[in-house]
Amino acid sequence: MKISKIQALEVLDSRGNPTVQTTIWAGEIKATASVPSGASTGVHEALELRDGDKKRYNGKGVLKACKNVETKIFAAIKGMDVSHQEKIDNTMLELDGTENKSKLGANAILSVSMAAARLAAKCQKLELYEYLAQAYGYTPKLTSKPLFNVINGGAHAVSSGLDVQEFFIIPQSGKFSEKLRMGAEVYHCLKKLLDAKGLATGVGDEGGFAPTLGSNEAAFKYLIEAIKNAGYVFGKDFKLGTDAAASEFFDKKKSLYILKADKKSYNSSQIYKMYKAWLDKYHLELIEDGCAEDDIVGWKFLTQELGHKAVLVGDDLFVTNLVRLQMGVTQKIANSILIKVNQIGTLTETLSAIKFAQKNKYKVVVSHRSAETNDDFIADLSVAVNADYIKMGSLSRGERMAKYNRLLEIENLL
Ligand code: 2PG
Ligand code: MG
């Protein structure tokens, strides 16, 4: 079970940009993991190390990060027991020594952290979700509700003109395989509907459609129609949700949320009113990043006004960071946290954020990034920690299906 060899490879993610894929060996046994990447990244996220060499991949190469894995990191963790996750992660944190992992790169560190966990599971002949559940004191459960992001806007589909980044359909009951089927049926009805109206049905970064709709609200109307066309009852079989990703349309200088598609703007003490109107009209179950990452005033209004009737998720707000989450709990803002392993960069830190959230009754949403690989680690993670929700994209694109198909396998195993 001792780490004997490491290799890191520059591979491409689903947006066609380089990312780090690391393989770790313990004797003859090996395991591989690759790292996702965001587009609407929070300013408080750990740093993704990019080469900056404009002659390669527009400066986005990750050869330095790969080198860090094979040299500095390997030298520090060689010979360690692969199941000593905390020790491996803490060794890398010490070696890096910076607040935001800028020396080694969060991409370098995370690839090792994930591959180590996968290798430990393999060595113990356990499924990854079983291993993680055992290691962190859970009983594996696949009860999370999927947030299917079937209309993409914002930074994930700039040509759509939508300010809001993600529009979710949320199936309300049935086991995972049934929820997946329901989601896929609505997805296909949505495609038909858009086709019939002569709207674009090419997909955005997360596999949702990216039509030019003219207003953010229009997206909800299409979702409701598609749900009905698929034979489901809106409000009972499906509810809706959104990731506004509001940091992206918050003008810091003017201190205003500017929604271009709606020709409207709001300040921090008003923005909740827009969501309240949407919530009442469209049965919103969940709103992610309704306010910008550092707009604590906006978050307070939002939480006071809507926190009792909607799941309010902090993504850019918390960045899977225990210290940011502690601040949120103290300030009583949001009531849920988005969990993205690469925002923080190690499995150990990810788990401490999850545990703290659960202890404080914040809901947990295990999430992908807008650029992914076929790595399905987060499927196992969500089952291991009994996530309340999962966010793994729409019902198309291979890198999203990899996660859903893994969940189908896990459902079968469970
Ligand atoms: C988000 C994510 C994933 P990105 O904002 O929640 O949907 O997007 O990976 O681009 O930050
Ligand atoms: Mg988000």
Among residues 74, 97, 125, the one where a domain terminates is 125
Residue 392 and residue 336 share a domain: yes
Q: Which ligand is nearest the CA of 314, by number? A: 2
Q: Is residue 135 part of a domain?
A: no
Q: How, if at all, do strands 238-243 and 284-288 pair?
A: parallel
Which of residues 97, 125, 153 is at a domain's end?
A: 125
Does 84 map to a domain? yes
Backbone CA torsion sign across 180, 186, 191, 192: positive
Q: What residues flank ligand 1, with Cβ below 6 Å?
A: 38-41, 166, 206, 243, 245, 315, 338, 367, 369-370
Last residue of a domain, one of 65, 97, 125: 125
Specify whether 216 is located in the same domain as 365. yes
Instruction: Identify whether residues 109 and 163 lie together within a single domain.
Output: no
Residues 199 and 269 in one domain: yes
At 328 the pLDDT is 98
pLDDT digit string (tens) for 241-300? 999 999 999 999 999 999 999 999 999 999 999 999 999 999 999 999 999 999 999 999
> Is residue 71 domain-shared with residue 194, that is, in the same domain?
no
| 195 shares a domain with 93 | no
Q: Which residues are catalytic?
A: 206, 340
Going by C-beta distance under 8 Å and a sequence separation of 6 or more, which residues neighbour residue 306? 272, 275, 276, 279, 287, 290, 312
Question: What is the Cα–Cα distance from 403 to 393, expressed in whole angstroms?
Answer: 9
What is the CB neighbour count within 10 angstroms for residue 65?
28
Domain of residue 102, residue span:
5-125
Quick one: pLDDT at residue 208? 97
Mutation choice for ligand 1 from 48, 164, 367, 391, CB with most ligand atoms inside 8 A: 367
- By the CB criterion, residues less than 5 angstroms from ion ligand 2 are 243, 289, 315
- Coil, strand or helix at 263: coil
End-to-end CA distance of the chain: 26
Q: Are residues 221 and 351 in the same domain?
A: yes
CA–centroid distance, 369 to ligand 1, in Å, is 5
Question: What is the domain-level CATH number for residue 110?
Answer: 3.30.390.10
Of ligand 1's listed atoms, the one at least distance from the Cα of 369 is 9
Tell me the CA–centroid distance for residue 341 and ligand 2, in Å. Answer: 13
How many angstroms separate the alpha carbon of residue 252 from the centre of ligand 1? 20
Instruction: Provide the CATH number for the domain around residue 409.
Output: 3.20.20.120
**Which of ligand 1's atoms lies nearest the C-alpha of 36?**
9
Q: Which two tokens stand for residue 165?
A: 């980044």
Question: Residue 390: nearest ligand to its CA?
Answer: 1
Other CB atoms within a 10 A radius of the CB of residue 327 amount to 14
Q: Which tens digits make up the pLDDT trace of 321-342?
A: 999 999 999 999 999 999 999 9
One domain for residues 247 and 357: yes
Residue of 15, 17, 37, 40 with the most ligand 1 atoms within 8 Å of its CB, for mutation: 40
pTM of the model: 0.98
Report yes or no on 350 lying in a domain. yes
Q: What is d(CA 10, CA 18) in angstroms, rounded to the nearest whole number?
A: 6
Same-domain status, 193 and 153: yes
Residue 396, in any domain of the structure: yes
> How many separate domains does the chain show?
2
Cα of 383 vs centre of ligand 1, distance in Å, is 20
Q: Can you read off the two tokens belonging to residue 343?
A: 């925002």
Q: 88 and 225 share a domain? A: no
Does a structural domain hold residue 45? yes
Same domain, yes or no, for 108 and 149?
no
Is 67 among the domain residues? yes
Q: How far apart are CA 227 and CA 259, in angstroms?
A: 26
> In this structure, which residue's CA is closest to atom 3 in ligand 1?
369
Q: Which ligand is nearest to the CA of 400?
A: 1
> Could you say which residues of the chain have pLDDT below 70?
none
What is d(CA 373, CA 118) in angstroms, rounded to the nearest whole number? Answer: 16
What confidence score (pLDDT) does residue 40 get? 87
Centre of ligand 1 to C-alpha 224, Å, is 23
* Distance between CA atoms of residues 366 and 342, nearest Å: 12
The pLDDT value given to residue 106: 98
Whether residues 108 and 158 fall in one domain: no
Cα–Cα nearest to 345, from 375, 373, 322: 322
